[in-house]
Each structure stands twice: as C-alpha cells, then as structure tokens.
Amino acid sequence: MSTSATIDNMSVADSNESLLAIPLSSFRTSYLQCDIYIQREKNGIPVLYRRRSHPLEEADLERLHKRGIRTLYISKSNEEAFRRQIDEEVLQNESIPLDERYRELLKINEAVFVQAFRGGKLDDLVRFSDKFACQLSELVCRHDLIVDELFAIMEFDNGTYTHSVNVATYCLLLADRLGITDTAELKYIAAGALLHDIGKRHVQLAVLNSPSPLTAEQRKHIQQHPTMGFRELALRKDQTWGQMMMTYEHHERVDGSGYPTGIKGNEIHPWARICSIADVFHALTSKRPYKAAMSTDEALAVIKKQSGTSFDMEMVKCWNTTLKKIPCLMA
C-alpha cells in the first residue's frame, strides 16, 4: 500500500469542510468509496485516514476497532450517497431481520442527531428528522415486525437521542394500534416526535443533566421548552400543524392541569395526546441519577391511574393492551 493511504501520512481535514460522523460498526467494505477521516485525539480535529482511491478492507476495520476507534468521518457532500447505500444494502434488505435493521438505523443516526440538536442549524435538524422519520416509520409499522424483538434491543436512558427515538417509536406503535394507517401521516407523527423536545435546545445543560431532582426555579425554566420549541417551528412551511402541536402540547393534560396553556380534552391535538403518553412512559422507564427506572408494569399502572385526568382514556387502554402483549417488557 502506498504511503498516501496509510494512517502515518494523514492530513488535517479542510477547516471549511463539514464532516459527518459514522459509527465504525456501521461501515461495510462495499460502501461508498470516499475520503475517510479519523479523530486521533479526543476533541481533536479529524484528519485524513484513507483516500477514496484506497478502499477500506475488513482488516482495516478490525485494526481500527482494536485501537479503540469507534467513529469515522466522511464529507457531508457524500452523505446523501452514503445514506442511500445504507438504505439499499441494510434497511431495505429483507434478508436482514427487522430488529437488526432497526438497531442499525439508530446507530448510524445518533452522532448526527446529537450534533444537530445541540449545536447545529435548525434547518439541518428538521431535514435530518424528516429523513430519519421516513425510515423509522417504514420499519416500526411493518405488520410482520416482531415487536418483542424490537423492544428487547431498545435502550432506556434519559439521553436526548435515546429519549427522542424511543418516544418516536412509541408514538408510531400507538398510532398504528389506534388505526392510523396512512403512511404520510405516520411519517409526520414520527418526525414530530423526534422534534417534540426541540425547545430543550434552549434549556441550560446543567438543568437538563441535573444529578438531582429539579428545584422549583429549574422546573419553571424547563417548562418553557414547549413554547420555545413551538416558536422555532411556527413559521416553517415544512411543518404540519399536528407536528407543531406535538412540540407545543405534549405536556398538556386532558383535565387542564398541564402546561404551557392548560387546555383540556379534545382541545389537545390527538398527535400531542399520543406523544404525551409516549413521553411519560419513556421517562418512567428510564434510569436517572436520582431514581431507578420503573418496570413496564409499574409504569403502565401509573399511566392507567392517570387515565382520563392526565391522559386520553381510550389511548391509554390501547397502549396498555399493546404492551401487555410484549413478553420481554412484562417479564
């Protein structure tokens, strides 16, 4: 191999070039041939690892893994082609089990979502969520999906990405069980769920990552996130009313005790009522520094107790019935 292709002859990525983070485990040697970058030091600038003229081989991937490298980078200009290839070779590959495709979808999108959510442009986050939602809805709403296997590989922490993806998955599952079958509507619901907490981009990280229960002042601060998120999305032409209401109303409660406006019952958009159940279910079943995660049975009992007061009664019945049929959750 020529020295221009080796790790010893790397050059720093052009400061004007935007790079896309890809998990090492998501790379296949058959994938798009393009320049590949690597981050040698934590928080360092990615540098050139391999020119497009020297494709990756399995031995390269093994060596990188042994060195503790878990992320590679490609130019954003290659993103569309790379994702198209992932979609064709993995996500649409019927020979790969659906739960494995779901796991791969989550893995390849995490770094991009986290970067766009915290420091990226709103346009990038919305476009990304729209594409992600299309793929997510296609997988989750498959009638041959073994939901037990899907839930068995889901993660349960309170990180922004995990929360957003799990809430979107729950929303899709509940919407499907409620009889929503239109593919466009399901995609909009998934995209709206991925962005439901977009207002938290403006909440202090110290509050979001608090290792202890929030103070009254901190709680007041964080309760502004639905309004801040709605303001970000309200003037966009690429958001439906239902999606904006998922952001604005997912903390409203059917008895009027929620926020930010205290509306009640059917005044709350049905997609927001779906999202509120998904949002609370994930919060209850996720581990936090100051509390253990509830079991599925415990979380369902909490939600059922608040049926007709906090949550839509018929939707709660549907959600309970759906989850009671998933063995891995009720074990």
Q: How far apart are CA 2 and CA 89, in angstroms?
A: 30
Q: Is the separation of the CB atoms in 116 and 130 below 8 Å?
A: no
Q: How deeply is 214 buried, as exposed, middle or buried, from its count of CB atoms within 10 A (0-12, 13-18, 19+)?
A: middle
Q: Is the separation of the CB atoms in 276 and 218 below 8 Å?
A: no
Encoded tokens for 324? 């009671």
Q: How far apart are CA 222 and CA 199, in angstroms?
A: 9
Helix (H, G, I), strand (E, B) or coil at 12: strand
Does 200 participate in catalysis according to the annotation?
Answer: yes
Instruction: Pick the catalytic residue from 42, 200, 324, 325.
Output: 200
Number of alpha carbons in the 13 Å side-chain half-sphere of residue 96: 16
Helix (H, G, I), strand (E, B) or coil at 75: strand
Q: How far apart are CA 74 and CA 82, in angstroms?
A: 9
Q: How deeply is 290 buried, as exposed, middle or buried, from its count of CB atoms within 10 A (0-12, 13-18, 19+)?
A: exposed
Kindly compute the dihedral angle of the four CA atoms of residues 291, 295, 298, 300, in this order, to the nearest 10 degrees: 120
Residue 22, strand partner residues: 72
Residue 31 neighbours by CB under 8 Å, 6+ apart: 56, 82, 85, 86, 89
Q: How far apart are CA 152 and CA 248, in angstroms?
A: 31
Encoded tokens for 45? 């600038």
Q: Is the separation of the CB atoms in 98 and 152 below 8 Å?
A: no
Catalytic residue positions, numbered: 200
